[in-house]
């Protein structure tokens, strides 16, 4: 059987149950899944890279074929270095598709050997994103059902409650 290595990139600031849903299902489809934090110097995330790595490692430790990493630069070049065959992109709504489709075609031009797979989270997470979780948490709203317990603990520490 051919080894299929998939990369699931994102900022994961913080990782949500929607992200985790995609990671868990991807781990059933691919030989190896590399969940990788895309470091973008133009963005100022709430959690530092090391904190996001820690949260991702904690919430995926039950998945033996999932590794956690981070990268800077072009995703397709990172995928080449990691010997990945597939890039996973999450789609929550039709509005996500246009941008993701454009990126997929661009990546395919840069490296025709790497395919993009679009995965949708469970329908109960389709409205959910990290920005929404951060905003709700900043007001001490109950976000228990949106994020794994370890991430909830880290959010509470970050906001001091």
Catalytic residue among 19, 89, 134, 154: 19
- Kindly report, residue by residue over 15-38, the tens digit of the pLDDT: 999 999 999 999 999 999 999 999
Mean pLDDT of 112-129: 91
Phi, psi of 66 (to 5 degrees): -110, 130
pLDDT for residue 113 is more than 80: yes
More confident residue, 153 or 1: 153
Q: Is the pLDDT of residue 99 over 90?
A: no
Instruction: Tell me if residue 130 is catalytic.
Output: yes
Residue 82: is its pLDDT beyond 90? yes
Catalytic residue of the set 25, 57, 67, 92: 92
Check: CB of residue 26 under 8 Å from CB of residue 61. no
Residue 90: which of 14, 4, 7 has the closest Cα?
Answer: 7
Rounded to two decimals, the pTM is 0.94
Is the backbone peptide bond immediately before 14 cis, with ω within 30 degrees of 0? yes
**Active-site residue (options: 36, 130, 134, 154):** 130
Any idea what the CATH number is for the domain that residue 82 is in? 3.40.50.620
- Whether residue 142 lies inside any domain: the answer is no
Instruction: Determine, yes or no, domain membership for 160.
Output: no
Q: Catalytic residue at 43? A: yes
* Owning domain of residue 80: 5-126
């Amino acid at each position: 059987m051919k080894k299929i290595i998939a990369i699931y990139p994102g900022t994961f600031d913080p990782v949500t149950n929607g992200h985790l849903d995609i990671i868990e299902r991807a781990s059933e489809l691919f030989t190896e899944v590399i969940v990788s934090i895309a470091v973008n110097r133009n963005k100022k995330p709430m959690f530092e890279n090391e904190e996001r790595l820690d949260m991702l490692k904690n919430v995926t430790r039950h998945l033996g074929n999932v590794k956690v990493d981070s990268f800077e630069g072009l995703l397709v070049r990172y995928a080449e270095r990691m010997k990945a065959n597939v890039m996973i992109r999450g789609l929550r709504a039709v509005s996500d598709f246009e941008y993701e489709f454009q990126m997929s075609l661009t990546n395919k031009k840069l490296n025709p050997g790497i395919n993009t797979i679009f995965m949708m989270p469970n329908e109960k997470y389709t409205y959910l994103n990290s920005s929404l979780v951060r905003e709700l948490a900043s007001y001490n709203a109950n976000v228990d059902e949106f994020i794994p317990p370890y991430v909830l603990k880290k959010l509470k520490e970050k906001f001091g409650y």
